[in-house]
Amino acid sequence: MKKLLCYICMLIISATTTIAMADIVYVNDAQNLSLYDAASSHSNVIKVLATDTALTVLDKKPKNGFINVQLTDGTEGFIKARFTKAEPPEIDPKDSTSKEMSILQSNNVTLRAELSALKETLTPGTTLEKSLAIERDKLTRELNELKKTMASSSQLRNERDELQERVVNVERDLQQYKLENQALKDTASQDWFLYGGLLSLFGVLLGFILPKLGWRRKNSWDSF
């Protein structure tokens, strides 16, 4: 068991050392090389490598003139060994600065041209300015109409609320009038009943008094 563990550790150390000591090569300046999936020009091409592409050599022993390499993204394949170089590409600071200046100058010219075209487009009296002015006036009119509509709606709501309040007041007054009218009718009925009772009582009294008065007159005439 200990021997097996030692053997595994040796394999791991060996693989780590191999990876750490792997050589880095670069694609030749004058070539764009194909990366194959096997050590043969007749095998499938995985991708075409640009000049100065960095490659990690996985197997230093060429096979049919090909070496096994790995890209920085982990892609593995075979490439012709004679079209690689061990020296990294040289970058001349002057060339880099010159390229950057050229790019900046080109961008500056482009921006100036765009700015000039924009100024010409926005010159007073041009079609674009007139179109923008017309659109602005149109939006202003629409905004004013919207404000008027909102004001009219608010006025209509106020008038509606006022009318509803008046209707409620009229209904309340009508109900009060009905109650008062009914009370007057009830009072009038009671008064007529009272008047009728009084008239009946007065008739009874007259019927009782008149005969007595007639009898007294008769006795007075008889005494003469």
CATH of 2-85, one of 3.30.428.10, 2.30.30.40, 2.30.30.90, 3.30.70.100: 2.30.30.40
Residue 68 has what pLDDT? 92
Average pLDDT along the chain, 224 residues, taken 10 residues at a time: 48 43 70 81 85 85 87 90 79 59 73 73 65 82 84 81 84 84 78 78 76 62 52
Q: What is the pLDDT of residue 5?
A: 47
Which sequence spans correspond to the domains of the chain?
A: 2-85, 93-121, 124-203
Q: What pLDDT, on the 0 to 100 scale, is given for residue 124?
A: 62
* pLDDT of the residue at 98: 63
pLDDT of the residue at 144: 84
CA distances from 107 to 104, 112, 113, 121, 203 (A): 5, 9, 10, 21, 130
pTM over 0.85: no
